[in-house]
Each structure stands twice: as C-alpha cells, then as structure tokens.
Amino acid sequence: MIEAGARAPDFTLPDQDGNPVALGDFSGGKLVLAFYPLDFSPVCTDQLSIYQEVLGEIEDRGASLVGVSIDSAYCHRAFREQLNLTIPLLADFHPKGGMSRGYGAYQEDFGTDNRSLVLVGEDGVVRWSHAESSVKDIPGANLIFDALDAS
C-alpha cells in the first residue's frame, strides 16, 4: 500500500459515463480514493452504500470521494443506478489495475483491487492510507473521518 508522504501517482480513468477523470481534477482539494474489488458483490455493495450515506459529511470536510475498481465503466454505471449512488466510480479496466498498482491496491493473486482507502492532500501528496487484511472487512467511514480530521 502506498505510504503517507509519497507523491500520489497521476492517473486518468473513465468514470461510469466514460468521461475522463484525472488526479489533477482534484488539485487544491482533498481526495479520498476508495478501492474495492468488484461491483455487485455483497460486501462491495455494503461498502459503497455506507460511503454514500456519509458522502455529505466527507464533502463538508473539504474532500471528494471516488470509488475505484477494475470493473468497466458500463458495469459501474449499472452498479451506481442500482444503488442510487452519486459517488463517481472510476474504471481501472485497461490496462487492468494499472492505476491501482501505482497505489499498491491491486491484488495480483486475485486480479482485483483490495479493499483500501487513500487520502491525497491538496498538494498531491498522500496523507494517509489503509488496507484491510481481508476482503470481507469494510474500512469504516470513521477511518475516513479520522484521516480527514488529522490532515
């Protein structure tokens, strides 16, 4: 997992609508990257639903939140619609896991992202990161709030 103090690797990925989203789009603000394995899996559904519930509080702390997985933009669009999400979902689909590898969030053995969080500061430097040891565990929203409050 990428460590605090490292420069956040640049990226440009399509969102659920196929629009390019780049790290630079968030410069001057804090960005929380929420990596997760797959759309439509039960635990990922719970994870993104929790983050959607607290999205307003995250934004009130001056941060944006985006989800990242190896699914396609088309899959992300259907997943967002099913869950009524407003969180942008970025497709790290091709090359598979390319952006996630740069952040240390890709699991080669499984071919998916791990369940992890990265906070990028206004200056593009990683302020905090967290990876769960099991894909069955959801990194709680309290971790995001603690990281935002400490940064």
% of the chain beyond a pLDDT of 90 = 97
Cβ atoms of 76 and 60 within 8 Å: the answer is: no
Q: Which of 44, 63, 66, 120 is catalytic?
A: 44
Q: Is 123 helix (H, G, I), strand (E, B) or coil?
A: coil
Active site residue 44: yes
Q: Is 141 helix (H, G, I), strand (E, B) or coil?
A: helix
Q: pLDDT tens digit string along 114-144?
A: 999 999 999 999 999 999 998 899 999 999 9
Q: pLDDT tens digit string along 77-94?
A: 999 999 999 999 999 999
Cis peptide preceding 95, ω within 30 of 0: yes
Q: For the chain, what's the residue count?
A: 151
Residue of 119, 135, 131, 134 lying closest to 26 (CA atoms): 119
Cα–Cα distance, 30 to 12 (Å, whole number): 17
In the chain, the N- to C-terminal Cα span, in Å, equals 19
Cα–Cα distance, 19 to 103 (Å, whole number): 21
Rounded to an integer, what is the distance from CA 6 to the centroid of its chain? 17
| Domains of the chain as residue ranges with CATH | 12-150 (3.40.30.10)
